[in-house]
Structure 1
Amino acid sequence: MTDAAPRLHALVEQLLGVPLPVRIRAWDGSQAGPPDAPSLVVRNRRALRRLLFKPGELGLARAWVAGDLEIEGDLFLTLDLLSGLIWERDEDARTLGQALRDPQFRTAVGGLLKLAGPPLPPAPPPEEVRRTRHLHTRRTDRRAISHHYDVGNDFYEIVLGPSMVYSCAYWPHPDAGLEEAQRDKLELVCRKLALTPGQRLLDVGCGWGSMAVHAAREHGVRVVGITLSQEQAAYARKRVADAGLTDRVEIRVQDYRDVGDGPYEAISSIGMAEHVGAERYLDYATDLYELLAPGGRLLNHQISRRPQRDESTYHLDGFIDSYVFPDGELAPVGTTVTQLERAGFEVRDVESIREHYALTLRHWVARLEDDWQRAVRLTGPGRARVWRLYMAACAVGFARNRIGVNQVLAVRTPESGGSGMPLRARTWTENA
């Protein structure tokens, strides 16, 4: 019989209590659902067992990474259609215990169990990180950073392009190129920091050296870039040498907690603070404050999440924490601003650029898909699938305002109260 898809489609709708907005194509060749919608391709019964034993985002991710689940059609559209079912369920939704007291719910689960076959939970794909409590020690941070950033520089070149900037670009218009938008982002950071020749800049989480090279070459500053990734550091040092900037740029493999050669006139932290962790964030902010000279500026570029009505219920148990950023933690932007102020900073500007990240991620996904076979050869099929899903899902998340990204400009204002900021907002320097 070839009726798996109709049965599955009906059972899922019964379970969710709402129409399923995508089509299903099952392992037996059967199909069901809206005829013009993109399709979820359920390649085998193992995909159902993954979902039943770990319902929600993580079960779907395991099935996707293992190749048990595919999407036919527009990946972004499919994730957008499913977002309300996966990520945007009401916080007041029933608990599992409450749901199991509903006869209709129990009937749907029973039907799915029969369809899934032998009730043995499949092992998670090998790409999944065995998560521990978020300690954020030097050792655990090094391990987490290595998991994400030491995938291979050749792979990152495929995704990021020549700029090798792994953070949100700043688009002058939607039709601009990725390189132009990344250059504009680096220049925006430099202007907000009001860099002038001869100043010292600390670039925390320097990546492959793009900010360090741009700031030294275009603004004449002396830069110390720090990273925990050996592969990033080697790549960045070569870029510095190729640019003839070894007299002005130093790249170190170093934890921000171990930097002791302040003061600096400016600090950039671009896409790094997400790795710090909630329990350590005030320490992070205090360390950077102490490294700045009076009047010095910090530009903190950081992804944020929407606050929950009950923050005590927030926990990390999803795809990104298990496959992409182990030990990464997102906070609402208000929490970040508060922690910076508690450390002593005067926060002078907060700019949300979340739509820019949705555009950036779409470009990264396109680059990955255009060179898919090489990416698979470099990292393996499972890791390549992790990246495709992660970037596409994040693009949808930014577009739907589930997550955001903000540039927070803060000053170590001297006791005299003179911040060095211009009277007019967002001119960044007195001469602008």
Structure 2
Amino acid sequence: MAGAAGRLTKLAEEVLGGPLPVRIRAWDASESGPPGAPVLVVRNRRALRRLLFKPGELGLARAWVAGDIDVDGDLYEALDRLAGMIWERGSAAPKPPRAAALRALARPGVRAAGKELLSLAGLPVPPAPPVEEARPRRGALHSLLRDRQAISHHYDVGNDFYALVLGPSMVYSCAYWEATEGAAGTLEDAQRDKLDLICRKLGLHEGQRLLDVGCGWGSMVLHAAREYGVHAVGITLSEEQATYARKRVADAGLTDRIEIRVQDYREVADGPFDAISSIGMAEHVGRARYAEYAGLLHALLKPGGRLLNHQIARRPLADEETYQVDEFIDRYVFPDGELAPIGRTVGQLEDVGFEVRDVEAIREHYALTLRRWVANLEARWAEAVRLTSPGRARVWRLYMAASALSFERNRIGVNQVLAIRTPDSGAAGMPLRARDWRS
């Protein structure tokens, strides 16, 4: 085990208590680890300094985003092999690498810009986080101000970049596929089918009024107005999304039927609506605000009105108080986002008066969708880097690939919950046969 790769492998195996599941290639071109396995490329000692100061997932994420580490080979296979070390570590899992061993490997022994890179205590200087990391946020958690900052961090990175990843549909949520291998149609077909499924579940028809909470680039309101004749209001906190959506609405000649607003769901005051769709937005609401979110949507519906809440869920924990937000997701992808088990979501919708009529779990569909997005990104990598930054493109590649595996391994799921504001008479106007969504 000569060279830095051998020392890294030995250290990792001491921590794991067993063989390293990937091969390592170090900055000195040495390699070590199982032949034929995906290669974790450690490009410099800075990667180790990141792990020393932030052991575990956040240190690895910073190294990945900065380009200090990379994967040579199948990214999905590498992440699958590393899952037990990083994302699926149990309470009895080995602790991160020992500081003393990492310190020895990370010690640069050189000067930069005339300054010693080691502190007086003999520890490596912590590298600054990549610029793509979310800055400290102002305001109380899930206040109007802080939520606007969080949404801007994720969505205001360039409409052209999202168009490259998402394709012509510009839908940033789970598609609805014909077959488990996703080969029966295009991504655009599957996204259109998802939007139409939601419209049918909501029982939309000519002249109704629809509110789409977290409307993104306007795909849902466009489909509902064009295919079902509704008058739609779409709200988003992203200025870039709103600009893009308004242009799509104008180009489609539907400005008389669709209004796009930069507005928080807590600021909507012109109900009632016949139907509300919330597609991939509720993950941003947060545990402390979810009852408020559910109550406001209930109040905005007419009696008999339907809500379709499409939301990612996590597996329940034995002790829910131990739930911690994923550090990589919080710092680089969805600041302040929180996932909840589906049981809690259904319970909170019922607590505010909703009658939950259907729950459809579609987690396999999201894995297929994410793999298509990753393929789009990888196929046009140089353009994606030009449109954003190398670090931002690396964030999205890691986030989407790891998320695809999380859906496939049932670590997270996604559900469409259909709920109704049932009139006092109890006449819900729902079809007698399940999933025959027309009333």
TM-score range, shorter chain: over 0.9
Aligned equivalents of 1:84, 1:400: Cα separation in 2: 12
**Residue among 422, 430, 438 paired with 1:421:** 430
Query: CA offsets, 1:318-373, max 9 Å, x none?
Result: 10100111111111111111111111101111111111111101111111111111
Percent sequence identity over aligned pairs: 72
> What's the TM-score, normalizing by structure 1?
0.94
**Residue among 289, 302, 326 paired with 2:298:** 289
Aligned to 1:41: 41
Aligned to 1:129: 134
**In the TM superposition, what is the alpha-carbon distance from 1:429 to its structure 2 partner?**
2.0
**In the TM superposition, what is the alpha-carbon distance from 1:305 to its structure 2 partner?**
0.9
Aligned to 2:80: 80
Query: CA offsets, 1:284-318, max 9 Å, x none?
Result: 00000000000000000011111121111112251
Query: CA offsets, 1:14-47, max 9 Å, x none?
Result: 0121321110000001101110100000001111
Q: How does 1:51-66 map to 2 (within 5 A)?
A: 51-66=51-66
Aligned equivalents of 1:300, 1:231: Cα separation in 2: 24
Are residues 1:301 and 2:310 paired?
yes
Aligned to 1:186: 195
CA contact (8 A) 1:145 1:229 kept: yes
Aligned equivalents of 2:358, 2:410: Cα separation in 1: 20
Matched to 2:21, the amino acid is P
Aligned equivalents of 2:253, 2:91: Cα separation in 1: 54
CA contact (8 A) 1:169 1:357 kept: yes
Aligned to 2:149: 143
**Residue among 88, 103, 112 paired with 2:102:** 112
Q: Secondary structure at the match of 1:122?
A: coil
CA contact (8 A) 1:289 1:344 kept: yes
**In the TM superposition, what is the alpha-carbon distance from 1:110 to its structure 2 partner?**
2.6
Aligned equivalents of 1:288, 1:56: Cα separation in 2: 39
Q: How does 1:171-250 map to 2 (within 5 A)?
A: 171-173=177-179, 174-175=182-183, 176-250=185-259
Aligned to 2:163: 157
CA contact (8 A) 1:134 1:327 kept: no
Aligned to 2:284: 275
Tell me which stretches of 4 or more aligned residues in structure 1 moved more than 6 Å.
Answer: none
- Structure 1 residue ranges without an equivalent (≥5): 100-104
Aligned to 2:31: 31
Matched to 2:157, the amino acid is V
Aligned equivalents of 2:355, 2:44: Cα separation in 1: 56
**In the TM superposition, what is the alpha-carbon distance from 1:131 to its structure 2 partner?**
4.2
Number of residues of Structure 1 aligned to a counterpart in Structure 2: 420
Are residues 1:354 and 2:354 paired?
no
CA contact (8 A) 1:200 1:221 kept: yes
> What's the TM-score, normalizing by structure 2?
0.93
**In the TM superposition, what is the alpha-carbon distance from 1:121 to its structure 2 partner?**
1.7
Matched to 2:329, the amino acid is I
CA contact (8 A) 1:204 1:267 kept: yes
User: What is the CA RMSD across the aligned residues, in angstroms?
Assistant: 1.5
**In the TM superposition, what is the alpha-carbon distance from 1:384 to its structure 2 partner?**
1.0
CA contact (8 A) 1:2 1:28 kept: no
Query: CA offsets, 1:210-229, max 9 Å, x none?
Result: 00000000011110111111
**Residue among 304, 328, 340 paired with 1:319:** 328
Q: Secondary structure at the match of 2:254?
A: coil
CA contact (8 A) 1:134 1:277 kept: no
Query: CA offsets, 1:77-114, max 9 Å, x none?
Result: 111111111111223447x6xx9xxxxx7xx5432321
Aligned equivalents of 1:192, 1:92: Cα separation in 2: 44
**Residue among 393, 397, 405 paired with 1:396:** 405
Q: Which stretch of the first structure deviates more once superposed, 413-422 or 265-274?
A: 413-422
